[in-house]
Structure 1
């Protein structure tokens, strides 16, 4: 399953690469790459968040073993998204990029989400889990509950100039639903000891 997932998750990148090679990126190649990598970052973040609820609902416990790879691919596409911004928009001029980050709120939010993804990617190995300890590692990786809404907000603000809110709203509803399900289960589990004593 991991091999299949790896191949499937890599397909959008291979498609993008082939489009670039065949000169099929359209009239605005930078916008095409930026949009495509941003979309796939959000797709994979949503799928990563969906793994635990899906496992609980289906009892397919093997799903949880795919979550780390999905998270790493979400980071991979976020890295491509950020690199496109840094390279094509600013020619790797970090000072100019930083001015843009501070000036434009939607870029600020997207940059914060990307920075928060970095420690999750760095600590994704088994050795880092052992070094941090399971509990601290879990607390750190709960940053995804903040990263996903920030990613949606970044997308929403970016689309605000074009008055096209359909996709950002859809992403927002999906992320909200996945987070509400988690909150409900946590509230339910916190009440169980109390119910048992009655």
Structure 2
């Protein structure tokens, strides 16, 4: 299925607006004092959830493109990944601001002390270069191959994010949602491995 550039632009604009709705919801809930008994926890969980939602959706773009034969989906992947970073940045800012009041030394002690925070911090730091190199100009500067190699970090970042979520929830014995995320990510990564292996097999057979 092919879409014209105009239709793709309209779709990107719609997704851009819809992707901001969770953020606007947090703003409205803050103004109306509807964040519950623990506002910091509400914001932390909400931004963390949406980080994983968008990163998983971005990972799903290529499998969906292959299965549905929708090449235009690739034009949405970068924006979806950037929204994943946006909510990850809000998630980290909440941790730095409300949990540690911008005390970097205290934050660092917390990162080293608790494994689930260590894993989440590593995942966020690894996301930063992906976000910074998401422009067309950076792709040209790095070169296509180096840019693609760098952005393969997402295959490590997303599982780390799921592990961060799993460890955080394991203390409360609330593992259903982390396990769903783990199943989704495992399926997406296995699908990519399968296609990669199939392509290599076809290449070797042709040779």
Q: Where in structure 2 are the equivalents of 1:35-46 lying within 5 Å?
A: 35-46=45-56
Mind listing any 5+ residue stretches in structure 2 that lack a counterpart? 1-10
Q: Indicate the SS of the match to 1:177.
A: helix
1:114 aligns with 2:109: no
Q: Partners in 1 of 2:146 and 2:204 — Cα distance?
A: 27
1:81 to 91, 108, 114: 91
Q: Where in structure 2 are the equivalents of 1:57-136 lying within 5 Å?
A: 57-136=67-146
CA drift at 1:2: 1.0
Q: Partners in 1 of 2:203 and 2:194 — Cα distance?
A: 16
Q: Partners in 1 of 2:148 and 2:84 — Cα distance?
A: 18
CA drift at 1:195: 2.5
2:201 to 187, 191, 195: 191
Q: Which residue of 2 aligns with 1:173?
A: 183
2:172 to 146, 154, 162: 162
1:123-176 CA-partner distances (Å, limit 9, x unpaired): 001100000001100000000000000000000000011011100000000000
Question: Matched residue pairs, number?
Answer: 197
Q: Partners in 2 of 1:104 and 1:51 — Cα distance?
A: 33
Q: Which residue of 1 aligns with 2:4?
A: none
Q: Could you list the runs of 4 or more consecutive aligned residues of structure 1 that deviate by over 3 angstroms after TM superposition? A: none
CA drift at 1:194: 2.6
CA RMSD of aligned residues (A): 0.6
Q: Partners in 1 of 2:22 and 2:74 — Cα distance?
A: 23
Mind listing any 5+ residue stretches in structure 1 that lack a counterpart? none
Q: Partners in 2 of 1:179 and 1:114 — Cα distance?
A: 20
Q: Partners in 2 of 1:57 and 1:184 — Cα distance?
A: 13
Q: Partners in 1 of 2:126 and 2:178 — Cα distance?
A: 20
Q: Partners in 2 of 1:165 and 1:63 — Cα distance?
A: 32
